[in-house]
């Protein structure tokens, strides 16, 4: 297993964290395809919401960045009341 961790941000900025992480990695989609042949690639995010009714927005460019690389987005969402 290999991990790359983004800096925590308050208020949340998942899109900025995605850009931070992938700014450290190759943009070569052929390299990503080669990795996918032998590895499962996912982006795991723990979201700690400030209230029980909060949301998060991902812009199309962030979704495209993940989609072009075949990366699954795995979200664990934690309610502030817990």
Whether 74 is covered by a domain: the verdict is: yes
Position 2 in a domain: no
Provide the domain count of the chain: 1
**CB-count exposure of residue 20 (10 Å: 0-12, 13-18, 19+):** middle
Tell whether 21 is covered by a domain: yes
Does 1 map to a domain? Answer: no
Higher pLDDT, 14 or 51: 14
Q: Is residue 52 part of a domain?
A: yes
Asked if the structure places residue 59 within a domain, the reply is yes
Is residue 67 included in any domain, yes or no? yes
Q: Which of 77, 69, 70, 81 is nearest to 14 (CA)?
A: 77
pLDDT digits (tens, 9 = 90+) for 37-66: 999 999 999 888 777 677 788 999 999 999
Which of 12, 4, 14 has the alpha carbon at shortest distance from 58?
Answer: 14
Residue 5 in domain: no
Report the distance separating Cα 35 and Cα 69, nearest Å. 10
Give residue 18's domain range: 14-78
Q: pTM of the full predicted structure?
A: 0.83
């Amino acid at each position: 297993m290999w991990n790359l961790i983004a800096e925590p941000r308050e208020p949340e900025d998942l899109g900025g964290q995605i850009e931070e992480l992938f700014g450290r990695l190759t943009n070569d989609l052929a390299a990503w395809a080669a990795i996918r042949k032998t590895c499962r690639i996912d982006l795991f995010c723990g979201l700690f919401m400030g209230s029980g009714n909060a949301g998060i927005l991902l812009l199309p460019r962030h979704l495209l960045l993940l989609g072009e690389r075949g990366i699954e987005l795995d979200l664990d969402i934690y309610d502030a009341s817990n």
